[in-house]
Amino acid sequence: MDTALTDWPKTEAGDPVPPALLVRAQNSREVLNARMTLTALGVPFLIRNPSPATFTTVLFGTELIGGDLYVPETLLEDAKILLTPPHSDEERSDMDYLDRYEAWLDSPALTPEERAELEAIRDDEAEIKDRFHAPLAFGTAGLRGVMGAGLNRMNIRIVRHTTQAMANLVLGEGEAAARAGVAVCYDSRNNSEEFARQAASVLAANGVFVRLFDGLRPTPELSFAIRHYQCAAGINITASHNPKEYNGYKVYWSDGAQMPPRHADIVSAERERLDLFTGAKTTDFDAAVAAGAIVMMGRETDEAFLDAVMTQSVARERIRDIAKDFKLVYTPFHGAGYSLVPQALARLGIQNVLCVPEQMVLDGNFPTVKSPNPEDKAGFAAAIELARRENANLIIGTDPDADRVGILLRDGQGEYVTLSGNQVGVLLADYLIRARKEAGTLPPNAAMLKTVVTTEMARAVAESYGVAMFDTFTGFKFMAEKIAELERAGSHRCIFAYEESYGYLAGDHARDKDAVVASMLIAEMACWYALQGMTLYDAMEALYEKYGAYGEETLNLVMPGVTGMEKMAALMARLRQSPPAAIGGTAVTAVRDYQSGTRRVTEDGAEERMELRDSDVLAFELADGTTFLVRPSGTEPKVKVYVLARGETRDELNEKIERYSEYTRRELAEDAG
Catalytic residues, which ones?
A: 240
Residue 242 one-letter amino acid:
N
Residue in 499, 501, 505 with CA at minimum distance from that of residue 521: 505
Q: How many helices (H) and strands (E) does the chain have?
A: 22, 26
Residue in 212, 189, 225 with CA at minimum distance from that of residue 286: 212
CA–CA dist 112, 636 (Å, integer): 31
Residue in 199, 357, 336 with CA at minimum distance from that of residue 280: 199
Residue pair 653/549 in contact (Cβ under 8 Å)? The answer is yes
Residue pair 486/277 in contact (Cβ under 8 Å)? The answer is no
- DSSP lists the bridge partners of residue 591 as 600, 620
Residue pair 661/667 in contact (Cβ under 8 Å)? The answer is no
Residue in 96, 110, 275 with CA at minimum distance from that of residue 119: 110
Residue pair 122/112 in contact (Cβ under 8 Å)? The answer is no
Residue in 289, 318, 42, 276 with CA at minimum distance from that of residue 159: 276
Residue pair 199/235 in contact (Cβ under 8 Å)? The answer is yes
CA–CA dist 620, 137 (Å, integer): 30
CA–CA dist 399, 369 (Å, integer): 12
CA–CA dist 347, 263 (Å, integer): 39
CA–CA dist 295, 536 (Å, integer): 43
Please state, as a whole number, how many other Cβ atoms lie within 10 Å of the Cβ of residue 142. Answer: 24
* Exposure letters 332-365 (e unless 16+ CB within 10 A, then b): bbbbbbbbbbbbbbeebbbeebbbbeebbebbbe
CA–CA dist 367, 364 (Å, integer): 8
User: Going along 392-528, which residue ranges are E strands?
Assistant: 394-398, 405-410, 416-418, 446-451, 468-472, 493-499, 503-505
Contacts of 269 (CB under 8 A, 6+ apart): none
Q: What is the DSSP letter of 147?
A: B
What is residue 4's three-state secondary structure? Answer: helix
Radius of gyration of the chain from Cα atoms?
A: 27
CA–CA dist 508, 311 (Å, integer): 10
3: left (phi over 0), alpha (psi -120 to 50) or beta: alpha
Q: In what order do the strands lie in the sheet with 468-472?
A: 468-472, 446-451, 493-499, 503-505
Measure Cα distances from 435 to 116, 429, 511, 529 in Å: 60, 10, 23, 11
Give me the DSSP letters along 161-196: HHHHHHHHHHHHT-HHHHHH-EEEEE-SSTTHHHHH
- DSSP lists the bridge partners of residue 416 as 410
CA–CA dist 426, 510 (Å, integer): 21
CA–CA dist 510, 259 (Å, integer): 14
CA–CA dist 458, 471 (Å, integer): 11
